[in-house]
C-alpha cells in the first residue's frame, strides 16, 4: 500500500534536552538527503538500516546551517509503520524543533494527521486495530497496572484470543455447510449438532471470561470516578490532600470553604482514581456555595465510588443520614475522620446505617488510617482471581460493547440448537458472532470508524 511521506514532531512541545521530528514514507530518505550533511559525507539513503548519524541540517534556500542533529535511519519493513522511517533528533527548544519540521515540510513531506503513524502500522498489517488502540492506552496509562494491561494488548494477547475464537466459529460454519450440502446423511446432522454445541459453548465461555474482566480493565484504562462527600468541615479536603500527597485543596475550620468540585488523579495501590472533592452538601443561602453544592449532587450521580466522610467528634446528624440515603445502592466506603478529637459519634449507629459498606477510621491530621483506606479501595475493585497476571483484560468501551453483542449472538445459536431451529438460521447467528469479534481486531470494520479512532491520537504518534 503506497502512501505519501508524512512528518510530525513526536515529542511533547516545550523546552527539553532533545526533540524528535519523525518522517515515514517512501520519500523519507530522499527528503532528508536534501537537508542532511554528515561529518563523513555519506547520504542517508546509502547508510545501513537502524543506525544513527551525527551532522547538520542545511537550509537549501540559503545554504546555511539550520540545526545540529543526530539522524536515525530505519528501513522498511522493519519499522513501526513498515515504511522507511527517519527520526531527526534536534535540540529540544520550541524554535529549533519547529524549524526542523518546517524544513522537512518545505522539501516534500506532509504534516501527519493525529495518529497517522499508528494508522499506517494498522493499514500496512503490522498491528491489528486492538493493538493500535492499545498504543493510546499505553500513553495515557496512569498506573503500573494500567500500563501492563496496555502492554499485553499491544503484544497481541487479546488479538490472539479473538483470532482463536473466530477460527473455532469458522470451523463450525464449515461443518454446517457440509450438513446443508449433504442433508441425506443423518449421522452428519447428529455430529454437526453435537460439535456445534461444544464449539459454541466454548466460544461463549471465553467471551464471558473476557467480560468478567471488563469492569477492572475499564477502571484501569479510564480511572475510577471517586467522589468525596460529607457535611462541611468533616475533613473532605484534608482527605484529598492526603491521597494526592499535596496541598491541592484549601483546608480551614470554616464550613463552606470548598465552593466547587476539585478534581485530581491519584494512584492508590495500582488503582487509578479520578478523585473529586465536592463542596459540602447542605442547604445554604450563599449563592456561590449553592452552585457548588448543585455541582456536587451532579457528580455524585456519575460516580463509581463514594468516600463518605463523617466527623468522629460530632453526633450523627440528619444531614449525614440524608447522605447515606443519597448513595444507597452505590459502592461506598465510610470514613470516620478526626479520631484525634474526643468521640461523640455513636459507632454502633454508624455500623447500622452503613449496612454492608466498609468503615474506616482516620485521623488525617495525624496521618492515621490512610493505609487502611487505600487497602479498602483496592480490595473493593481488585480482589480474588481477577488480579492474576496472565489474564487477558478487556478495557476498551468499544471492545466491551462488541463482546456483549457477540455473547448475545452466540447465545442465540446455542438456544436455537436446543429448540431444533433450522441449521441455516443458527448459521446466521454464528456468522454474526464471527463478524462482531472481527470488528474488535479490525478484520471487518468501516473506514469511517478507523478514521474516528485514530483522530483521538496525539499528533506524531
pLDDT in tens, 206-257: 999 888 877 777 777 777 888 888 888 888 878 888 887 754 433 333 333 3
Same domain for 426 and 289: no
pTM, two decimals, is: 0.68
Q: Which residues fall within 8 angstroms of residue 161, CB to CB, at 6 or more apart? A: 206, 210, 392
- For residues 317 and 247, membership in a common domain is answered with yes
**Domain identity same for 46 and 180:** no
Separation between Cα atoms, residue 354 and residue 325, nearest integer Å: 10
Q: Average the pLDDT over each of 51-55, 148-152, 188-192, 246-250 and give the range with the smallest value.
A: 246-250
Same domain membership, residue 369 and residue 227: yes
The verdict on 154 and 25 lying in the same domain is: no
The last residue of a domain, from among 67, 85, 112: 112
Shared domain for 53 and 142, answered yes or no, is: no
**What per-residue confidence (pLDDT) applies to 393?**
73
When pLDDT is averaged across residues 301-317 and rounded to a whole number, the result is 88
DSSP per-residue string spanning 21-73: EEEESTTHHHHHHHHEEETT---GGGSPSSEEEEEEEEETTTTEEEEEEEEEE
Q: Which of 344, 364, 385 is the endpoint of a domain? A: 385
Residue 1 lies in a domain: no
Assess whether 364 and 399 both reside in one domain: no
Question: Is residue 244 located within the same domain as residue 331?
Answer: yes
Taking the C-alpha atoms of residue 221 and residue 446, their distance in angstroms, rounded to an integer, is: 24
Q: Choose among 323, 314, 310, 412: nearest CA to 362.
A: 310
Adjacent-strand bridge partners of 72? 52, 87
Residues 359-376 have a mean pLDDT of 90
Cα 16 to Cα 13, 22, 94, 189, 230, distances in angstroms: 9, 17, 9, 69, 43
Q: Which of 20-34, 89-103, 223-237 comes out lowest in average pLDDT?
A: 223-237
Once rounded to an integer, what is the mean pLDDT over residues 260-274? 73
Mean pLDDT on 3-26 = 91
Per the prediction, the chain carries an average pLDDT of 82
Q: Is residue 123 part of a domain?
A: no
Average pLDDT over residues 148-174: 86
Residues 142 and 70 in one domain: no
Report the alpha-carbon distance of residue 215 to residue 195 in Å, rounded. 32
Residue 67 belongs to a domain with what CATH number?
A: 3.30.1360.120
Q: Identify the domain boundary among 331, 353, 385.
A: 385
Range of the domain at 403: 131-213+393-454
Q: What is the pLDDT of residues 395-443, one digit of tens each?
A: 788 889 999 999 999 999 999 888 878 877 888 999 999 999 999 988 8
Are 104 and 31 in contact by the 8 Å Cβ rule? The answer is yes
Measured distance between the N- and C-terminal CA atoms of the chain, rounded to whole angstroms: 20
Amino acid at each position: 500500500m503506497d502512501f505519501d511521506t508524512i512528518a510530525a514532531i513526536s515529542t511533547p512541545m516545550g523546552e527539553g534536552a532533545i526533540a524528535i521530528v519523525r518522517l515515514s514514507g517512501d520519500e523519507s530518505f530522499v527528503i532528508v538527503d536534501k537537508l542532511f550533511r554528515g561529518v563523513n559525507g555519506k547520504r542517508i539513503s546509502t547508510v545501513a538500516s537502524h543506525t544513527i548519524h551525527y551532522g547538520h541540517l542545511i537550509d537549501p534556500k540559503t545554504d546555511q546551517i539550520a540545526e545540529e542533529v543526530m539522524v536515525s535511519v530505519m528501513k522498511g519493513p522493519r519499522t513501526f509503520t513498515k515504511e522507511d522511517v527517519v527520526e531527526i533528533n534536534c535540540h529540544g527548544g520550541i524554535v529549533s524543533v519547529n524549524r526542523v519540521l518546517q524544513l522537512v515540510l518545505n522539501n516534500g513531506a506532509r504534516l501527519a494527521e493525529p495518529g497517522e503513524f499508528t494508522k499506517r502500522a494498522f493499514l500496512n498489517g503490522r498491528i491489528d486495530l486492538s493493538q493500535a488502540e492499545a498504543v493510546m492506552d499505553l500513553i495515557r496509562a496512569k498506573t503500573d497496572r494500567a500500563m501492563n494491561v496496555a502492554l499485553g494488548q499491544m503484544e497481541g494477547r487479546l488479538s490472539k484470543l479473538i483470532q482463536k475464537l473466530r477460527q473455532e466459529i469458522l470451523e463450525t460454519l464449515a461443518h454446517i455447510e457440509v450438513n446443508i450440502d449433504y442433508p441425506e446423511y443423518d449421522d452428519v446432522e447428529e455430529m454437526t449438532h453435537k460439535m456445534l454445541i461444544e464449539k459454541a459453548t466454548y466460544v461463549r465461555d471465553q467471551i464471558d471470561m473476557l467480560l468478567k474482566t471488563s469492569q477492572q480493565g475499564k477502571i484501569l484504562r479510564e480511572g475510577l470516578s471517586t467522589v468525596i462527600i460529607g457535611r462541611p468541615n468533616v475533613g473532605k479536603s484534608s482527605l484529598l490532600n492526603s491521597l494526592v500527597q499535596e496541598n491541592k485543596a484549601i483546608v480551614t475550620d470554616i464550613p463552606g470553604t470548598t465552593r466547587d468540585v476539585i478534581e485530581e488523579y491519584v494512584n492508590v495501590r495500582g488503582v487509578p482514581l479520578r478523585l473529586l472533592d465536592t463542596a459540602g452538601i447542605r442547604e445554604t443561602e450563599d449563592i456561590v456555595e449553592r452552585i457548588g453544592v448543585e455541582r456536587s449532587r451532579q457528580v455524585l450521580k456519575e460516580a463509581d465510588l463514594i468516600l463518605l466522610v463523617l466527623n468522629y467528634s460530632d453526633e450523627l446528624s440528619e444531614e449525614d443520614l440524608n447522605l447515606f440515603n443519597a448513595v444507597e445502592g452505590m459502592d461506598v466506603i465510610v470514613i470516620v475522620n478526626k479520631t484525634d478529637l474526643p468521640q461523640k459519634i455513636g459507632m454502633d449507629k454508624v455500623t447500622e446505617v452503613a449496612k454492608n459498606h466498609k468503615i474506616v477510621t482516620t485521623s488525617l491530621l495525624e496521618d492515621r488510617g490512610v493505609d487502611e483506606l487505600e487497602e479498602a479501595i483496592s480490595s473493593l475493585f481488585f480482589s480474588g482471581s481477577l488480579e492474576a497476571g496472565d489474564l487477558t483484560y478487556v478495557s476498551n468501551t468499544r471492545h466491551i460493547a462488541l463482546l456483549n453483542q457477540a455473547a448475545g449472538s452466540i447465545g442465540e445459536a446455542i438456544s436455537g440448537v436446543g429448540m431444533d431451529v433450522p441449521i441455516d438460521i443458527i448459521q446466521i447467528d454464528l456468522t454474526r458472532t464471527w463478524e462482531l469479534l472481527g470488528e474488535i481486531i479490525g478484520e471487518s470494520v468501516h473506514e469511517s470508524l478507523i478514521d474516528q479512532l485514530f483522530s483521538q491520537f496525539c499528533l506524531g504518534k
